[in-house]
Structure 1
Amino acid sequence: MIYALYLTETLLYLCFSLLMGTFIMHLIPSTKRPSIHIHKGWLQFSIIGILLFSLMPVLYLIFMLFNDTGISLRVQDVFLSFRVGKAWIITFIISVFFYLFVTFFPVLKNKRYSFISIIFLVLLIFTIGWASHPASLNESTGFIYHSIHFTAVSVWVGTLLIVSWFSKNQENWLAFLKWFTPTAIICLGLTILSGFLIMSLIVDAKDYANSWMLNYGQALLIKHVIIVPILIFAYINGFWIKKHLQKGSTFNPKPWTKAESILLLLIFTATAVLGQQEPPKEIQTTLNDSGISPLFHSIYGGTVPPSLPVQFELNFMNISLFGISAIFFILVLWSYIKKVPAASLFLSLFLVISIYLSLMFSIQ
């Protein structure tokens, strides 16, 4: 059931991004973006998706707490006593009104209605933030950090998804980049800052490497490593392609933004796994209670370090892998020069794997 939870959490982030990107793009004048065609059904399905996918953690909690007291009593207890259950009730109410609003109002034709739709989305993001792990550790700051993080990612990824997969052509792409590039930079900055603040609530900076022995730390490390190729693609799509278009080139940027959006979906997956792991505020205590990460153990091999902190060393294996990472980094840029976006995407995945393994094999 835990894997179903990872999947639905990933799809939940995708639904939010799709909705946010759609309404933002319809707020922008048509002269400053490519022509967008998205059926209202996508929006309705996404709202239903938010309603259903956000229910999964509640069902998982009911399943975990189920005992002989009876399922009806346990369901009532989860929805009325646990924050995740209360948050879903609020999500249900907002989602119903949001669905009716999208259904009966021309949200894709009237900017005022598009703006109201974004307000609905922000309210849903706040509700998710209120029930998040950071908010459970620090109700006020955790809620704020998570809400900022979720909103910034939804704006950045959502806009990229819509322009990549739902634009009819590449018309006005240069005008689009003039406002989207600074927007993406701001969102990236807010994402990194809020992500660091969230991490500081859960894991002390000095314990970052120590957390790799846990499932939470493994998911966090993989998420951070995936950011490397995303930054490469962000630079390509925001600056290199812009230079091509300024010179009057007929270069098609859509395959490259599609590749970046696929990498961002991997971030969603890592975040989904991260959100369902036990927050390791005390690393040693969590290790004693939950045990070591199977992924860490399978790669590290041998005897697990008996005590903290984790120590690092340079050896033939990690130096070789760092070298391979550098080669993949160069090949990603080379594939852009040769205009092979599919190869660039696969090389980015190999870059992620090589960086991850080089760090793991650095542990003594």
Structure 2
Amino acid sequence: MAVIFIVISQILLYLCFSILAGIFILLLVPSKYRPDIKIPMHTLPIFIIMIPVLTFFPVLDIALFLAPRMGKDIFESLQIVLTAYTIGIAWSFTLLVSSLLLLLITLEKSIRKNISASLGLLFTFGLILTVAWTSHASSMDPVRGIIGDFIHLTAVSVWVGIILIVGWCSLNHKNWLEFLNWFSKLAIGCLVATALSGLFLMDVIVDSYIDSWIVSYGQGLILKHLFILPLLFYALVNGLIVKFNITKDPTFNPTFWIRVEGVILFVIFTITAHFSQQPPPHGNYLTSAEVSPLFQLFHNNSIDSGSTITFAMSLNTLCFFLLSILFIVLMVLSFFNKASIMVSVLFSCLFVTSIYLMIMVTTVLL
């Protein structure tokens, strides 16, 4: 039950970072380069207050775990975690930066908009840095881990944040071409930064990417990476096809497709939050309890620390490959037929499921 609360808190935390980053960036963008947006400034204090609350759940979880083992009550255990553990010290900085950001929002009317937005964005990045400080990667390699996790989370937060605010808070689709001209370049930069920092983090955390699929953390990695495929599809739709349609038909409303892109990014957030609570596959020691239940569905034979994965094609591989092609076609048709968001997302999930099953039935344990 505690794991569920932590996973939910992580998902909400990522959303808070994204919304704050999106709001502050769009406040800095001149109105002629974006559609008219009703930016929910009154919700900013809520999202800011939620950050130290949400980041406190892992701190409390460790305190509850240590209290009976140290023979102390929860308050003494909590004091030890806050003063002696990295996650507790980092949370203290999170609380401090959140307080400063909340103070800035309170004084926002007396400060020039571009200055307050710039400072707000800087504080948001500072909050992301405190979270990167407590990541799995930073515990294994403090310098590379913190840098990699900070770049990774910052790039995704900027990308998702702008999509969320524009997708759900825009009042019209004025200046959409001007918006896409700069946002497409920014999205490409965020994608490259996310990919490179992801590779950087895997080099720190994972000894072998393919062999990591045996454990739950590795299963999370492959699912997250597979969802990047439909994400690229919708990014391409927004960057090229939507832009072409707007030039041909000024009344074309592109908001729908940026919302679909946002939903896919939210799915990736959810996968990241869930599997980030699993221990990373670092080292050669592996117990049967650490083997992923998902992986065991395809391989019920004995698995140990010496097990490695290779690939062997079969008829099942071909079947799932053809099925994935079918769902790609349906994703394309959903665009031209203006299907609902849920239909488009469903086809995307089925496409990812087909590719995942294709890979899993092709794996062979040695």
CA distance in 2 between counterparts of 1:324 and 1:107 reads 58
Output one character per residue of 1:250-298: Cα deviation in whole Å (capped at 9) or x when no partner.
Answer: 221111111110110111111112322212211x41x22752112222x
Contact 2:13 2:54 in 1 (8 A): yes
Which segment drifts farther, 229-238 or 54-63?
A: 54-63
Which residue identity is paired with 1:160? Answer: I
Which residue identity is paired with 2:354? Answer: S
Equivalent residue number for residue 15 of structure 1: 16
Q: How does 1:1-364 map to 2 (within 5 A)?
A: 1-67=2-68, 68-106=71-109, 110-204=113-207, 207-282=208-283, 284-285=284-285, 287-288=286-287, 290-297=289-296, 299-306=297-304, 307-342=306-341, 343-364=343-364
CA distance in 2 between counterparts of 1:109 and 1:303 reads 65
Tell me, what secondary structure is at the counterpart of 2:171? coil
After TM superposition, give the deviation of residue 318 of structure 1 in Å: 2.2
State how many pairs are aligned: 359
After TM superposition, give the deviation of residue 247 of structure 1 in Å: 2.1
CA distance in 2 between counterparts of 1:240 and 1:312 reads 37
CA distance in 2 between counterparts of 1:50 and 1:289 reads 36
Any unmatched runs of 5+ in structure 2? none
Identity of aligned residues (%): 37
Which residue identity is paired with 2:253? Answer: N
Tell me, what secondary structure is at the counterpart of 1:314? coil
CA distance in 1 between counterparts of 2:326 and 2:199 reads 29
Which residue identity is paired with 2:236? Answer: Y
Query: Normalization by structure 2: what TM-score?
Result: 0.94
CA distance in 2 between counterparts of 1:24 and 1:106 reads 18
Which residue identity is paired with 2:77? Answer: R
Which residue identity is paired with 2:323? Answer: I
Which segment drifts farther, 173-182 or 120-129?
A: 120-129
Contact 1:6 1:276 in 2 (8 A): yes
Which residue identity is paired with 1:302? Answer: N
Which segment drifts farther, 12-21 or 125-134?
A: 125-134
Output one character per residue of 1:156-181: Cα deviation in whole Å (capped at 9) or x when no partner.
Answer: 11111110011111111111001000
Contact 2:139 2:145 in 1 (8 A): yes
After TM superposition, give the deviation of residue 341 of structure 1 in Å: 4.2
Contact 1:259 1:341 in 2 (8 A): no
Which residue identity is paired with 1:345? Answer: V
CA distance in 1 between counterparts of 2:110 and 2:327 reads 44
Tell me, what secondary structure is at the counterpart of 2:310? coil
Output one character per residue of 1:343-363: Cα deviation in whole Å (capped at 9) or x when no partner.
Answer: 222111111111111111112
After TM superposition, give the deviation of residue 108 of structure 1 in Å: 10
Contact 1:107 1:117 in 2 (8 A): no
The structure-2 alpha-carbon separation of the partners of 1:81 and 1:88, relative to structure 1 and needing over 3 Å to count, comes to: same
The structure-2 alpha-carbon separation of the partners of 1:109 and 1:255, relative to structure 1 and needing over 3 Å to count, comes to: farther
After TM superposition, give the deviation of residue 77 of structure 1 in Å: 1.1
CA distance in 2 between counterparts of 1:107 and 1:99 reads 14
Which segment drifts farther, 35-44 or 337-346?
A: 337-346
After TM superposition, give the deviation of residue 115 of structure 1 in Å: 0.6
CA distance in 2 between counterparts of 1:16 and 1:194 reads 18
Contact 2:36 2:174 in 1 (8 A): yes
Which residue identity is paired with 2:327? Answer: F
CA RMSD, aligned part only?
Answer: 1.6
After TM superposition, give the deviation of residue 64 of structure 1 in Å: 2.0
After TM superposition, give the deviation of residue 34 of structure 1 in Å: 0.6
CA distance in 1 between counterparts of 2:228 and 2:336 reads 21
CA distance in 2 between counterparts of 1:363 and 1:301 reads 9
Contact 1:10 1:269 in 2 (8 A): yes
